[in-house]
Amino acid sequence: MRPLIGLFLLLAFAAAGPAFAAPIDDANAAYQRGNYAAAEKILLPLAEAGNPYAQYRLGLVYLEATGEMRSPEEASKWLESAALQGQPHAQYKLGILYVNGNGVLRDFVQAYMWLTLSTRHVAGSGSEAVRQRDMLAARMSSSQIAEAKKLVKSWRPVKFETETPPPQR
């Protein structure tokens, strides 16, 4: 009986994958067309449910949108939530926001930390994250770099809990 339960669970999870992929694909297509309102409508419930990729993409929507929908502050909130869960693209984007002070206060230590963390999942030392981090390091003091490296060493991803909203700014 136990093997049947395992098989059933395996099939259930396999079937659920495409159910989550389809909305993300639709959101990505809307984003690529510049239809940020449609992308937001699809991504917001997924992001609120804790999906780190949806949070990352929603952050991009708020960064790229125009008019009233554009909100670097809202973007940084969602990017941070995804980055805290270990989403490397969100870590990179959040690092860039900290470098520029876009939606967050400029903070080179935080920027260095997030850029470094994002490089853990990027192949090759020539990646854009490494390049950005190294350019940033040239603008930092040795004590700032040491502090950032200490944060990197102690960093652990967190699990998003649906009862707790993403970090507020």
Mean pLDDT of 46-64: 97
Closest-CA residue to 112 (of 98, 123, 127): 98
Helix axes 142-154, 108-119, angle to 10 degrees: 50
**pLDDT confidence of 3, banded at 50, 70, 90?**
very low
pLDDT at 38 over 80: yes
Token pair in block for residue 141 = 């003091």
* pLDDT tens figures, 154-164: 999 998 765 54
* pLDDT tens figures, 56-113: 999 999 999 999 999 999 999 999 999 999 999 999 999 999 999 999 999 999 999 9
Between these two residues, 127 and 149, which has the higher pLDDT value?
Answer: 149
The C-alpha atoms of residue 160 and residue 167 are separated, in whole angstroms, by: 10
pLDDT, residue 24, reads: 94
Q: How high is the mean pLDDT of the chain?
A: 86
**pLDDT confidence of 125, banded at 50, 70, 90?**
low
Domains and CATH numbers, the chain: 2-154 (1.25.40.10)
